[in-house]
Structure 1
Amino acid sequence: MQIHQMSVTYLPEQDRILMRINTTAAEEMRLWLTRRLMVGLWPLLSKMLTEHLLKLESAGAAVTGANPELKKMLAEFRKEEFLQHADFDTPYKEEQNRLPLGEEPLLVTDVDATPLAGGPLRLSFNERPPGGDRKPRNFQLEMAPKLMQGLMHLLEQALVQSQWREAFVPVSPPETAADDPDATRPRYLN
């Protein structure tokens, strides 16, 4: 399957993210991504993509022993380079395509992510409905690092719009002033 376009949109009335993948064979895959799924998936994909980009670097062997700051800077540089060449201006084609997964989007319950030796990342989106009254569905694709970085950028935009992103950032404890005697005393609200 050859990916032609991707669209990632937060739909507030559903409180879900709709991901659509359009292929060169005029097929469209539709996927629902929930907040519950993204809380675990976002950090995993971010980490996996960063590690994968570092492995693909020509200086990858020299980078493996480098400190985390250097690794992070190098990965960010590579991500920015990919994004500069990406096309986010072309509108998603809303034509009626064949829908191999059906009219109803796949409600993703889990994702299997595997980096492949040749460079792409394999993502398998699975829908496992509870109770067994419906047949499980799944969809698998392989994405080159450039395309994966484009998907991460679209997902990040949707996360910002949904305001889910705050849940993925650890909250630091409030700073207390050393000269404030009430700072160490617990406070209770009724």
Structure 2
Amino acid sequence: MSIKQFNGEWVCQQDRVLFRFNTSEDQEFSFWLTRYVLQGLLQGAQQLTVQALEQVHPPQVAQVMQSFQQASVTQQLNFQETFQAAKEKPMGEAPLLVTGLMLNQTGDEVTLKFDLESGKSVEVKMNSSVLNVMLALLDKLQGVANWGVGLAEADDVSPSLSTPSGSPVIH
């Protein structure tokens, strides 16, 4: 299953994000994401990306690189494109409530498993660039919802520099 397009909106009455994607096989999947699940997805995916970058870069460099990659993806996205509904909805018409998730990465492929309230699960595989597009959309939606669980910026994840204790030196 290859993802073709993402779509989402924050639904105020539900205080949830309606997240949809369609595939190149003309299938559509719809999910309700709570604040808690969305926070776990954003943080988990960000950690996964940083860990992959740490395989070839020092940790601080990996964190900054991840932040720059995400910012670059966000700037290039087209949020105006109309979502194209798919012909098939294998999980049904109604959005399904996601109660948990699992992320794994093997090489450049990321596996995202949504655990559903019904006890079923949906597993999706994507490359890291598609993951970054999904994260950019979800980060924007959490911002609209004013949830405060967005992606950490490079400044947020890098250690802060402090001056040695004592009196400041003035020249």
Q: TM-score, normalised by structure 1?
A: 0.70
**Cross-structure match for 1:24:** 24
Cα deviation, 1:45-97, whole Å, max 9, x if unaligned, reads 22112323x15xxxx53x1xx352x222222223334445544442211x362
Q: Is the contact between residue 42 and residue 150 of structure 2 (CA under 8 Å) also seen in structure 1?
A: no
Q: What is the aligned partner in structure 1 of residue 81 from structure 2?
A: 90
- 1:62-77 aligned at under 5 Å gives the runs 63=57, 66=58, 68=60, 70-77=61-68
1:149-173 alpha-carbon deviations (Å, 9 max, x no partner): 0100000011001111169989xxx
Displacement after TM superposition at 1:6 (Å): 0.5
Matched, 1:148 2:137: no
Q: Is contact 1:10–1:18 with CA below 8 Å preserved after alignment?
A: yes
Q: Tell me, yes or no, if the aligned pair for 1:106 and 1:137 is still in contact at 8 Å.
A: no
Q: Which residue of 1 aligns with 2:121?
A: 138
CA distance in 2, matches of 1:82, 1:96: 25
State the number of aligned residues. Answer: 153
Answer whether contact 2:142 2:150 (CA < 8 A) is retained. Answer: no
**Rg comparison, structure with higher value:** 1
Give the C-alpha shift of residue 126 in structure 1.
1.0
Residue of structure 1 equivalent to 2:114: 125
Which structure features the higher share of strand residues? 2
Give the direction of change, closer, same or farther, for the CA distance of 1:90–1:33 in structure 2 (3 Å limit): same
**Percent of aligned positions that are identical:** 23
Q: 1:139 to 1:15 in 2, by over 3 A?
A: same
Question: SS at 2:5's partner residue?
Answer: strand
Question: What corresponds to 1:177 in structure 2?
Answer: none
- The letter of the residue matching 1:11 is V
Q: Which amino acid aligns with 2:3?
A: I
For structure 1, which runs of at least 5 residues remain unmatched after alignment?
130-135, 171-190
CA shift in 2, pair 1:81/1:20, >3 Å: same
Q: Which residue of 1 aligns with 2:143?
A: 160
Highest RCO, 1 vs 2 (Cα 8 Å, sep ≥ 6): 2
Summarize the alignment of residues 94-113 of structure 1 with structure 2, pairs less than 5 Å apart. 95=85, 97-113=87-103
Q: Residue 165 of structure 1: SS of its match in structure 2? A: coil
**Residue of structure 1 in register with 2:69 after alignment:** 78
Gap regions ≥5 residues in structure 2: 157-171
Compared with structure 1, are the counterparts of its residues 72 and 27 closer, same or farther at alpha carbon in structure 2 (3 Å cutoff)?
same
Q: Which amino acid aligns with 1:147?
A: V
